[in-house]
Chain A
């Protein structure tokens, strides 16, 4: 069965520093997609970055990068040069090719300190 685990309920980071948010997953499907979403206090869900299971390179989008380690089944989000506006909940999610279902992790709340 699919599973997404985010073990860090809360994280603190100093402004301008980098931070890594952990995500591990479990699926028996060799083909799947991994996603990260940001949910600021205003409540909307914002797509950040995507990684396909067959992608050879780690995905990057501006200050966001995904540290994809397939053998370890981990898909950690790295935010470089943290900004105060990065304070939010971050969700890791996965979809396999078995259907339309995407499952989400429990989320990590990130606090960026000035």
Chain B
């Protein structure tokens, strides 16, 4: 079983459309994340949820809205897609964000490659 699964793997859409990416983890982790990886492979955090509560909200356009219906799911909805939103989006989870122990390891999904035309 895949520990962190994202769907879809590829998403091709037109500018101005609205799209969602789903993420589920079956690791029993408390914290989930969304990252954006640009064309130069730079990885930047966008959002983080701990036990369904938003704890990190980086400088991201408000066209991006995360939703965590429960601890195991964190979805990303994007409104009015723009060309600059084209990137790979990664979902990740970790067991406990507050400890310095091995629990802080983040496990990543396979990524969703979003192409906005």
Contact = CB atoms under 8 A, between A and B. Distances in A.
Contacts of B106: 35, 47, 102
Contacts of B113: 43
Given A52-B100, A100-B48, A101-B48, A35 B105 contact: yes
A101 B98 contact: no
B45 A102 contact: yes
A69 B47 CA distance: 31
A100 B31 contact: yes
A48 to B, nearest CB: 10
Nearest to A96: B100
Nearest to B111: A43
A95 B48 contact: no
Dominant SS among interface residues on chain A: strand
Interface residues of A, number: 27
A68 interface: no
Contacts of A104: 42-44
Interface in B23-64: 31, 33, 40-45, 48, 50, 55-56
Contact of B108 (A33, A45, A89, A106): A45
Contacts of B107: 47
A78 to B, nearest CB: 19
A43 B89 CA distance: 11
28 contacts: A31-B100, A33-B100, A33-B104, A35-B104, A35-B105, A39-B41, A43-B110, A44-B109, A44-B111, A46-B108, A47-B107, A47-B108, A50-B102, A50-B104, A52-B100, A54-B100, A91-B43, A97-B98, A99-B55, A100-B33, A100-B50, A100-B55, A100-B97, A101-B45, A101-B56, A102-B45, A103-B45, A104-B43
